[in-house]
Amino acid sequence: MIDTHSHILAELDDGARDFSESLAFMETAASQGVETIFVTPHACDGVFNCIKDQILDACLNLAMALKENGCKTRVLPGAEIRVNHDLVAEYDKGSLLTLNNAGTHLLIELPAMFMTPAISRVIRQLKDRGVTPIIAHAERNPMIMTTPGIVTEFVYQGAVIQITAGSLLGDFGKFSKKAARDLVSMDQVFCLGSDIHPGRKYRMADAKKCLIKLAGRSKAFAIINENPSAILEDLGFSDTKLFMKKAY
């Protein structure tokens, strides 16, 4: 499995409180069969603004410690970037960290309230730059929670959708649970993230079982492994619909 969203790096945001907690999260992930985790501290969200070099350094430190400890799960760098009016300008300045610093996928978090055309414009601007936006925990956004169909416009514009593992199990309430499951049944979900923070359960293994029940093995495998593998391998598909086609 590939976990595409986590707050495992210590002391950068509201994630792991110290290095030992980072290592404990990683052990849990390994025990649940997760091979790769993207570490994605908050950036540009008005409270936390982790900068690119800080994240890269912290990720490298953690990777080295994991190697020493013989942990089989690897970490790759990233960030969870709140969409604001500066996002594209910041990207152009080179200050935003794409997943694995590869320049192909950017994990973005939508504001609680948004105008659909404004978000579509940001998606198109990123796509024009060769970057596919991954919309973090779409099912927990209040507007998408109420109307999951909104995401079809964003997917049409070239974004892909991520949901949180725990949402499928009801960890964030019945509305996000329903929205997460609706998005799965609408074939709109590209990948899964734990969004692990202190005080939350790590739910990748439970979510895998749930996805298999809801959508069957083939789609579950696409969401937990095949689609995000394509991010890792940078297979050169500039059009996200190719990813979706491959997966479904």
Quick check: 13 binds Fe ion (CB under 5 A)?
no
Residues 6+ apart with CB under 8 A from 59: 9, 39, 75, 76, 77
Q: Contact 31/3 with Cβ under 8 angstroms?
A: no
Binding-residue pattern over the window 137 to 176 for Fe ion, x denoting contact by CB under 5 A: ----------------------------------------
Site residues for Fe ion, window 82-101 (CB under 5 A)?
none
Q: Give CA separation, 121 vs 88, 124, 158, 189, in Å.
A: 10, 5, 11, 21
Quick check: 80 binds Fe ion (CB under 5 A)?
yes
One-character DSSP codes across 56-92: HHHHHHHHHHHHHHT-S-EEEE--EEE--TTHHHHHH
The only residue of 32, 99, 195, 243 in contact with Fe ion, by rule CB under 5 A:
195
- Whichever of 26 and 247 has its CB closer to Fe ion, that residue is 26
**139 token code pair:** 């099912």
Please state the closest distance from residue 178 (CB atom) to Fe ion, in A.
21
Please state the closest distance from residue 5 (CB atom) to Fe ion, in A.
6
Binding-residue pattern over the window 32 to 71 for Fe ion, x denoting contact by CB under 5 A: ----------------------------------------
Q: From CA 57, how far away is CA 141, in angstroms rounded? A: 31
**Interface residues toward Fe ion, by CB under 5 A:** 80, 195
